[in-house]
Amino acid sequence: MAASRFLFDQAPEKDIVTWSALISGYVQNGQPNGALRVFLEMESMNVKPDEFILASLMSASSQLEIERLLIYSINILINRAPLPQSLRPGWKAPKRDTESWALGSSGRARVSDA
């Protein structure tokens, strides 16, 4: 992946295809954290993900067992929403009590109904 990243960095113009290829490459090589880093970099440059990138994100989330990212991937596919802070790597829930678990469960139920 180092060679792929080097070539990507050297490209004078990066379009959705080059972003998608790099993200997919990280996922296919068992490096989901690399895929997430590239996705966050892409998002910071205001590049909107397409369905291929979202499919790669879903695969990365399954490799990492990150349910929040999977829910986000589905949400962005529907709404094209920006990545909320709570879904960024390293974010920790402020508290885990009955109320937060209930809210999380209802959010998952709404996504699965969509």
State pTM to two decimals: 0.60
The tens digit of pLDDT for each residue in 39-75 reads: 989 988 989 888 889 889 888 877 876 666 666 666 6
> Between helices 98-113 and 67-79, what is the axis angle to 10°?
50
Q: Can you list the alpha helix ranges (DSSP code H) found in 29-96?
A: 32-44, 51-64, 67-79
- Give yes or no for residue 109 having a pLDDT over 70: no
- Give yes or no for residue 104 having a pLDDT over 60: no
- Please compute the mean of the pLDDT values over residues 78-92 and round it to a whole number: 59
Q: What pLDDT was estimated at residue 61?
A: 79
CA distance 87 to 36: 11
Rg value, the chain, Cα: 15
The tens digit of pLDDT for each residue in 14-48 reads: 999 999 999 999 999 999 889 989 998 998 898 98
- Give yes or no for residue 105 having a pLDDT over 80: no
